[in-house]
Amino acid sequence: MLVERHGLRGWLAQRHGAAGAHVAQARKAPDQKGQIVKIAVATDDGLSMSAHFGRARAYLVITVEDREVVEREIRPKAAPHLEAPSHQDGDGSHDGPEAHARHDQMIAPITDCAYLVARGMGRGAYDRITAAGIQAVVTDIVDPDEAAIACADGLIVNLVGRLH
């Protein structure tokens, strides 16, 4: 299915609406042989993508080589959003020093990954992940393998309009 869409970046962005969407760029050209990319997917069960990054209990780290999933690994993830009634700092922000510390704690296990993919996340987490050198992606793709291959190919649509 993704092979049929290769090169149709405009169609993908249009499918998700022009406002608040863009196509994430792969770190290497998709046609390069030997391309190996690690993608972290927020998950609760190791099989499906979590609806929200901050509430996910783990990461499914998927290694893609030449458009094939070659490895899957479950990594622990701190989930302070599950442990506290509010994940906002005292001033109500998701972007203060306390929030930065929580986001950094959540990001630590995946610093070797090129992408972090979830079906939803807050703006503070998105910005902190990006600052860590990881491309944060919000998607409506529910299958982790499909999302990972789309990331590696540079064809995944990043639905940044869904950030909250």
What residue spans define the domains of the chain? 2-80+92-162
What is the pLDDT, as a whole number, of residue 35? 85
Quick: pLDDT tens for 68-77. Answer: 999 999 999 9
Q: At what angle do helices 97-107 and 123-131 cross, to 10 degrees?
A: 60
What is the pLDDT, as a whole number, of residue 68? 94
What is the average pLDDT across 18-29?
A: 51
Assign 3-class secondary structure to the chain. CHHHHCCCHHHHHHHCCCCCCEECCCCCCCCCCCCEEEEEEEECCCCCCCCCHHHCCEEEEEEEECCEEEEEEEEECCCHHHHCCCCCCCCCCCCCHHHHHHHHHHHHHHCCCCEEEECCCCHHHHHHHHHCCCEEEECCCCCHHHHHHHHHHCCCEECHHHCC
Confidence category of residue 60, pLDDT binned at 50, 70, 90: very high
Q: Given 2.102.10.10, 3.30.420.130, 3.30.420.10, 3.20.20.70, which CATH number is that of 2-80+92-162?
A: 3.30.420.130
Mean pLDDT of the chain: 80
Residue type, 143: D
pLDDT of residue 153 exceeding 60: yes
Higher pLDDT pick, 83 / 133: 133
What is the pLDDT, as a whole number, of residue 103? 85
What is the pLDDT, as a whole number, of residue 143? 96
What is the pLDDT, as a whole number, of residue 2? 40
